[in-house]
Structure 1
Amino acid sequence: MTLTINVFGDSFPKSVYDAYTAAHPNITIKENRADYGAHHNNLQAHLAAGSGTADIEVIEIGQIAGYLGQGEKFVNFNDQGVDPAQWSPAKIKQATATDGSLVGLGTDIGGLAICYRADLFKAAGLPTDREEVGKLWPTWEDYVKVGSDFISKTPDKKVKWYDGAGHVMTGILAQEKNTFYDDQGEVIAGTNPVVKQAWDLSVTSIQAKQSAALAEFSPEWNTGFQQGQFATITCPAWMTAYIRNNAPETKGKWDIATVPGGSGNWGGSFLTVPKAGKHTAEAVDLAKYLTTPDTAVKVFKEFGNYPSPVKTWDLPEVEDAKDAFFSDAPVGVIFPKSFANLPEQAAGPQSGVIGVALNTALNQVEQGEDPTTAWEKALKDIEAAAG
């Protein structure tokens, strides 16, 4: 029997799959990977058609709300012997459908930090020690101010402060309770001053020539890591694996500092089992295995994805973990600090779509579009998404 799992990005290392198939020699696991947008769009299309889904589908935290009205199309993990206490109440709530069913099991949490190139900081005369670096930007406004300082001092004028403005805005909004939706489930993205302030600060940084204008997950973005085209990046825990895998030769040049504002969550995913899959019972067993505390710790050790099962957070191999690639940064301390006091964030069915609309608009500004025009276009896209 072959079980298929549709993913985006680095979800599980081969060693985790191999351990499962060694204990289940009748099963082969086939992972299919697509980019973030295509993956979620394909899932929605297959659910609507009632066929074509994988046995397991990964859904990202920014997208999960868009599936909660379709609980009947997924296996309810509440009926599958799953202990909800394995995760925080907030994580369970995020994957609980409107009909009360639990449609997803949490894999990781995207605690926020700033990953930075210590060698590029040194060349520009900025501090390189992670504690001192974190003190440079208690707020996002300070982060942008330091960016202008870096741009003026870096000897290589081709090097920018960060990769793309969409990630600056994402980082700012990742520490707010209400961004695109209010507590009643109404879309407020176009009228929420928090969103406009994040947009304006991101535009200010673009106008200050701080952005490398690289679209995330693009070949150009990958090259940016490899060639040191930017000095910092808004860095959820899962980003560390992406940097490590795409630019292995930069080991030891990176370090990790506290995120501006001190908190934030960007990312984290859920495993779902669509009822349209061919092997739902076996898929449930695999999904439960892939989200156990033991497996979550293995993924953390190999990929850096911070585990969501709460009992793992105090384990020595997590709490005391350091990342050699990032100059032995204490990742077991830095990332959990960022979501320790994070408010429960409101989301809605179109949160992912709205985020993409705003990021796309910022990219247009990076390409020369007038900011006011780009903002008005984004508002129209948001209005269309809200229905």
Structure 2
Amino acid sequence: MRSYRTTRRAVGLLAAAVLGTGLLSACASDDDDGGSDTDSGDGGGGKTTITMGLFGTFGFKEAGLYKEYEKLNPDIKIKEDVIERNENYYPALLNHLTSNSGLADVQAVEVANIAEVVDTQADRFMDLGKVEGVSEDAFLDWKWQQATADDGKTIGLGTDVGPMAICYRKDHFEEAGLPTDREEVAKLWEGDWEKFLDAGRDFKENGPEGVAWVDSADAVYDGAIASSEGKYYNEDGDVIYKESPDVAAAWDIAAAAAEEKLTGNLQQFTKQWDQAMSNGDFATISCPAWMLGYIQEKGGSKSEGKWDVARSPMPGNWGGSFLGVPESGDNKDEAAKLVAWLTAPEQQAKLFAERGNFPSAPPAYDMDAVKTATNPYFGDAPIGELFSASAQEIPVQTIGPKDQIIDQNIGNGLQLIEQGKEDPDGAWDEAVDAADNALDQ
């Protein structure tokens, strides 16, 4: 089973997914023959070894990018040191940064953690914005800003993003009398998450028995909040989620889905959720680009052609990571060159073609590997075109250092509604109390 690396609440195991290319193995180390030489020190024969500190599967090795770089730079060898789960990787990274020891030449940072790293650890990283060949214009503006400190120092370069869509089961839609063509489906909820609920109400009335409209209220909330401009912090760094109209709107949508029993009452990335996906027990799911590979893996051959992909009610982002170069590294100049190369549009396009990681570099969107990409498992959906359009319309959000804690507790509150333990008001109060306790407020 492959490792899914984009952190989601405490799970920490989402996907930089495979898009119609088969299933991939989880990566725990670089000691197999499929990757780069794993010698330490000078790499043997006078070569410099660049160490990559990663979590989950980023796909660089599997897509052949390390070998390509080594061929272009014969004096370089690349070694991966991988911790499978970001929930285990990130605390260790913070400890290494705080002590300024034990760091790899390159360290990955997940989007949920980038704000905290920028705020508290920026002095431990090189300014990659000053590296030769790196251009701010080559990245989505909001992606570049997420890893840039107030003084203009850019501590990480974006590897990928998670533009949103809605994946849906055509067979279930047909049985419910809903359109199945992806353009017509998108019109059902265009521009408004409330319309998404309206379609769900029609589905509940007319759809197949035992099939929920959507997997979870939590996933509805994720989609809605990802497509809003406001979130949990303001630009001054103040926690404002309790007063945020965007958070309130996303909560109301998700709470209604839970209270009206439009959801399958499933917790994402559990065995029960996997099984429900395999069985076709829900008709729709909030679907960032990496989710396609997860659906394909869990759905298997019996679900091929039953799923399709339509535009989300509004563009949003869920997921993505960065590569940074610690100042304390022995090989920081060579490491910076490697990071610049790995995140260049050409390599991001190759990675998308081989692994499904959606590029954070818009110039890649005009390359054939992205522009003309389709996915046969999802009815030849034009995923390159669809996700490129979404990525370029994503609202710029202020990312806070403790977003993940707030997000987790909001998700827990929504589960209370699904389980019939609280009404929306009571569940919100529970979520706020838990979040504030965790934030020491």
Structure-2-length-normalised TM-score:
0.79
CA distance in 1 between counterparts of 2:55 and 2:68 reads 19
Counterpart residue number, 1:34: 84
2:397 match: 345
Residue 68 of structure 2 is aligned to residue 19 of structure 1: yes
Q: Distance in 1 between matches of 2:291 and 2:67?
A: 24
Aligned to 1:225: 277
Q: Residues 323 and 98 of structure 1: is their aligned pair in 2 closer, same or farther, counting only changes over 3 Å?
A: same
Measured in 1, the distance between the counterparts of 2:419 and 2:101 equals 40
User: Is the 2:261–2:418 contact (alpha carbons within 8 Å) kept by the matching residues of 1?
Assistant: no
* Deviation (angstroms), 1:23: 4.8
Deviation above 6 Å: which 4+ runs of structure 1?
A: none
- Label 1:185 to 1:105 Cα distance change in 2 as closer, same or farther (>3 A): same
Aligned to 1:4: 52
Structure 2 gap segments, 5+ residues each: 1-38, 41-50
User: Are the aligned partners of 1:7 and 1:57 in contact in 2 as well (CA < 8 Å)?
Assistant: no
Separation in structure 1 between the aligned mates of residue 421 and residue 324 of structure 2, nearest angstrom: 39
Question: Could you tell me which amino acid in structure 1 is paired with residue 239 of structure 2?
Answer: V
Task: Verify the 8 A CA contact 2:162 2:317 in the aligned structure 1.
Answer: yes
Q: 1:168 aligns with which of 220, 229, 245?
A: 220
After superposition, the C-alpha distances for 1:338-386 in whole angstroms (9 at most, x for unaligned) are 2434332222222232222212222333333313333113212433427
- Residue 113 of structure 1, CA deviation: 0.8
Q: What is the CA–CA distance in structure 2 between the aligned matches of 1:22 and 1:213, rounded to whole Å? A: 50
Q: In 1, distance between residues paired with 2:188 and 2:380?
A: 20
Map 1:62-81 to 2 at 5 A.
62-69=112-119, 70-81=121-132
RMSD: 2.5
Which range moves more in the overlay, 99-108 or 74-83? Answer: 74-83
Query: What is the count of residue pairs matched by the alignment?
Result: 385
Assess if the C-alpha contact under 8 Å between 1:174 and 1:264 holds in 2: yes
Aligned counterparts of 2:86 and 2:265: Cα–Cα separation in 1: 19
CA distance in 2: counterparts of 1:377 and 1:46, whole angstroms: 35
- Letter of the aligned partner of 1:68 in structure 2? V
Instruction: Quickly say closer, same or farther: Cα 1:382–1:217, change in 2 above 3 A.
Output: same
Aligned to 2:427: 374
Stretch of structure 1 that moved more, 195-204 or 55-64: 55-64
Instruction: Report the AA paired with residue 62 of structure 2.
Output: K
Larger fraction in helix: 1
Mapping 1:1-387, distance limit 5 Å? 1=39, 3-8=51-56, 11-12=59-60, 14-15=62-63, 16-23=65-72, 27-69=77-119, 70-81=121-132, 82-138=134-190, 139-157=192-210, 159-249=211-301, 250-261=303-314, 263-275=315-327, 279-370=331-422, 371-384=424-437, 385=439
Distance 1:215 1:223 in 2: 12
Give ranges in structure 1 of 5+ residues lacking alignment. Answer: none
Residue type at the aligned position of 2:280: G
- Cα deviation code 1:116-165 (max 9, x no counterpart): 111222233322110111111122111112112222323341x2222221
Please identify, of 320-329 and 43-52, the stretch whose mean Cα deviation from structure 2 is larger. Answer: 43-52
Report the Cα offset of residue 281 of structure 1.
Answer: 4.1
Question: Cα distance, 1:285 vs. partner?
Answer: 3.4
Q: Which moved more, 1:339-348 or 1:129-138?
A: 339-348
CA deviation after TM superposition for structure 1 residue 35, in Å: 3.2
SS of 2:112 mapped into structure 1? coil
d(CA) in 1 for partners of 2:202, 2:103: 49
- Distance in 1 (CA, whole Å) between partners of 2:148 and 2:109 is 13
SS at match of 1:225: helix
How many Å separate the matches in 2 of 1:17 and 1:247? Answer: 31
- 3-state SS of the aligned residue for 2:154? coil
TM-score computed with the length of structure 1 as normaliser: 0.90
Q: In structure 2, the residue corresponding to 1:125 is in which secondary structure?
A: coil
2:283 maps to a residue whose letter is A
Q: How many Å separate the matches in 2 of 1:282 and 1:246?
A: 40
Q: How far off its partner does 1:207 sit?
A: 1.7
**2-side partners of 1:386 and 1:182: how far apart?**
18
Query: CA-to-partner distance for each residue in 1:278-309, whole Å, 9 max, x for gaps?
Result: 65444333322321212111121123332111
Structure 2 CA distance for aligned equivalents of residues 9 and 22 of structure 1? 22
* AA partner of residue 32 (structure 1): V
Q: CA shift at 1:310, angstroms?
A: 2.2
Structure-2 separation of matches of 1:244 and 1:277: 39
